[in-house]
Structure 1
Amino acid sequence: MENDMMFERTAKPVLDVRDRPKLGKWAFLSTQHLFAMFGATVLVPFLTGLPISAALIASGVGTLLYILITQAKIPAYLGSSFAFITPIISGLKAHNLGDMLVALFMSGVMYVIIGLFIKISGTNWLMNLLPPVVVGPVIMVIGLSLAPTAVNMAMFENSNAMEGYNLNYLIVAMITLVVTVVVQGYFKGFLSLIPVLIGIVTGYVVAAFMGIVNFAPIAQAKWFAIPDIYLPFKDYTPTFHLGLILIMIPIVFVTVSEHIGHQMVINKIVGKNFFKDPGLDKSIIGDGVSTMFASIIGGPPSTTYGENIGVLAITKIYSIYVIGGAAVIAIVLGFVGKFTAIISSIPTPVMGGVSILLFGIIASSGLRMLVESEIDFAQNRNLVIASVILVIGIGNLMLDLKSTGINLQIEGMALAALAGIILNVILPKSTKAVKD
């Protein structure tokens, strides 16, 4: 990663990292990034039950913190992380929100620790711990474990209890899905980067015509409203649950691996070696501090967004001022009561429709990592690691030690990631092929 020839710029930028746009264009350029991150960022709190206004503010403030920590050198936008959806949903079934937010805060601390290790010892240890044969199947589990959530939202009035099958819900979900797929597949330029947003808007309009949208909360909402946030010692007393924290740690390792992948792409697009300056350690620490802030106000963990990286590639506008402008707009929207009420009024089948695609893309991206890394499944080692991860994760295997007097419970995706990491360490790197 130290070879600067890898990062030679292939195209002249319209605006470089430190260039400031003209005032007339600034808001428009920043709004493009807001649109790109918006659909996925609000979907996470929508699914987990966390406050939407907190997610928007966490996204904006988290991005500004990231810009500060990386010395305003990396044009990356941070939004809500999909990887933590399943741990949050499953964790909240047995614990209260305060306990979950403390665990999410500790996941941010883990980011910082990993960043410090990278500063001291480089990235080889992390790549050896998390090769594609581990990360790929875990990413597949993240998407596939969420599949029932998306499908239930698309057809049930009460998706959690799987009750009240509604054909109108399914119609709205399928229209939303088809529009999203068509935009992603056939539209060009910037519109191809916001298929989720276009799909949600279309699905919302269709749902409104079918009488599924409840407009009363929108009418009652104020234009300016104090955001719905949860603060420690005010709204809850922080308590540490080892089981919850251990659920998050394996996920952190996987998302850090994704973070490195995103950084590689940004390096190539912008034509600069951000691994060297300001340093990968600062980038990962910035992501961690952003996640810590999000948990403090009741928002979901943060991650760098591929959608916004796509905006960089298409527009060739790498200005940190544009990224910062999008962050400021997101913060402002968190205080607009009408806006958050509109988001809260989006019917579940609309979100279910886009989720079918989004969660499928997550699973497929894990498969893509295996293919691009040329993982040879004729080798016993690779086959065993991937197989164990997939079955433990999708089957939602649980390790519960409460009967032994130890308050520890790890399940599903976290246990799958942990199993994959352990198997990768202990299994011999043999070239023995699978026998027919």
Structure 2
Amino acid sequence: MSNKPVLDIHDKPTPLQLATLSFQHLFAMFGSTILVPKLVGLDAAIALLTSGIATIIFLLITQFKVPAYLGSSFAFIAPIITVASLDASGVAVNPGNAMIGSMAVGITYALVSLLIWKAGYKWLMALLPPIVVAPVIIVIGLGLAGTAVDMAMNVNGEYSVLHFSAALVTLFAAIVFNVYFKNILSAMPILLGLIVGYLYSIVIGIVDFTAVKEASWIEMPNFLIPGVHYELNVTATILAAMLPIVIVTISEHIGHQLVLGKVVNRNYIKDPGLHRSLLGDGLGTFVSALIGGPPKTTYGENIGVLAITKVYSVYVIAGAAVVAMLIAFFGKVMALIATIPTAVLGGISILLFGIIASSGLRMFVESKVDFGNNRNMVIASVILVIGIGGAKLELFDGAFVMSGMALAAVVGVVLNLVLPGREKGVTDAHDY
């Protein structure tokens, strides 16, 4: 089979090709991008709108050399849920808190990209080796397991066989599309699983279309202004919950750039450079937070579409971004998305969160982490127990709180730095 691209990076598709291929990328990212806001209480329309905006920003920063689509990041689900419950008294629900944290994440990306530009990237690889990143990824997946099962089984706090059946149908459909189907269908199991589960939910009568009938065809998304706090304890807790997760998301970003480079036969670490792609990711996240969108990340689903279709054109990626932004203003479409039952979301989350945890295990295997080495055993064990156990660190009479996966990530980095036997990193990235 030829490895020659159907459309290379800067090839311009015909109008018909642009339309069809852009929608293909839209479908690939759609399920995951709208799932995150629905899980954390943000607006799905804003998530779609900001995914398009962030993708355009990413393309601009990377000089239209990297055909990557940016969607909602799953790594921040638990931190967003945590910080949304904080205000000055620590009890009110305010999703604007998460936007402050997301803006800080974007700024952190920018600072790291500046360091990479000046000093190369290998210091970062030494700071975040697989023995630190892999168990934190496992914590992210398993830490959300209870949430997924509760969504799948319970309605208003009570067990429902009917809703659980919808969750199981959704889960089974997603598994079937992921395992048994090939080509483009295997690249979007989340979207297809949601569709099958939704159709089943309509048949059993647990979908209410009242809001769809009442919605206008064209509506403005519900923009969310970031929360501003003058209470040091609230701000510190928000930052402590969200910033440590960049340990995982930056590693994910590097992995995606390496995989994408192999797919399209480019070296994106060198050109346009890891510093540019990371800055594009961070700036996309920052701008997204300004209007209420979740943090962004490059999407493996869309990289999969590139690999399957051999259509690498950045014009197609930009087209998908524009379509996503337009759909965000269709009120009836967004109202229809809002009718997806919680059980269906729970069913897809069981698979999704499990895959997240399993990808951490896969990183152990692919990186050939030696658990006969006591140092590796200690680091992984401590991260897993602190993260899954929900350990909490409180300082200054509760003015600073760090818990769960955030605390586990920080502890993992510290252990990797202080325990003897760490491999020394090289700071020159230009010989990659």
TM-score, with length taken from structure 1: 0.93
Query: What letter matches 1:336 in structure 2?
Result: F
Post-superposition Cα deviations, 1:219-270, rounded to whole Å, max 9, x if no partner, equal 10111001111135xxx54657022112222111210011000000011011
Distance 2:225 2:60 in 1: 23
Question: Cα offset for 1:115?
Answer: 0.6
* Contact 1:102–1:238 (8 Å) recurs in 2: no
- Match status 1:46 vs 2:46: no
Distance 2:166 2:125 in 1: 43
Query: What letter matches 2:158 in structure 1?
Result: G
Partner of 2:339: 345
Query: What letter matches 2:76 in structure 1?
Result: F
- Match status 1:276 vs 2:253: no
Partner of 1:195: 189
Question: Cα offset for 1:310?
Answer: 0.3
Distance 2:365 2:16 in 1: 45
Distance 1:188 1:309 in 2: 15
Partner of 1:4: none
Distance 2:237 2:164 in 1: 37
- Match status 1:137 vs 2:135: yes
Distance 2:173 2:43 in 1: 27
Distance 2:334 2:261 in 1: 35
Partner of 1:302: 296
Q: How does 1:14-413 map to 2 (within 5 A)?
A: 14-95=6-87, 96-158=94-156, 163-232=157-226, 236-237=227-228, 241-401=235-395, 404-405=396-397, 407-413=399-405
How many pairs are equivalent? Answer: 414
Post-superposition Cα deviations, 1:161-200, rounded to whole Å, max 9, x if no partner, equal xx11100011110011001101111111101111111111
Distance 1:94 1:67 in 2: 35
Post-superposition Cα deviations, 1:1-49, rounded to whole Å, max 9, x if no partner, equal xxxxxxxxx8111001011100111111001100110111111000000
Query: What letter matches 1:195 in structure 2?
Result: P
Partner of 2:408: 416
Structure 1, 370-379 or 243-252: larger mean CA deviation: 243-252
The share of aligned pairs that are identical, in percent, is 53
Question: Cα offset for 1:320?
Answer: 0.2
SS at match of 1:94: coil
Query: What letter matches 1:17 in structure 2?
Result: I
Query: What letter matches 2:150 in structure 1?
Result: N
Distance 1:258 1:311 in 2: 18
Post-superposition Cα deviations, 1:357-391, rounded to whole Å, max 9, x if no partner, equal 00000000000000110001111100000000000
Post-superposition Cα deviations, 1:136-183, rounded to whole Å, max 9, x if no partner, equal 00000010001011100101002xxxx111000111100110011011
RMSD: 1.5
* Contact 1:98–1:238 (8 Å) recurs in 2: no
Query: What letter matches 1:182 in structure 2?
Result: V
Distance 1:193 1:101 in 2: 30
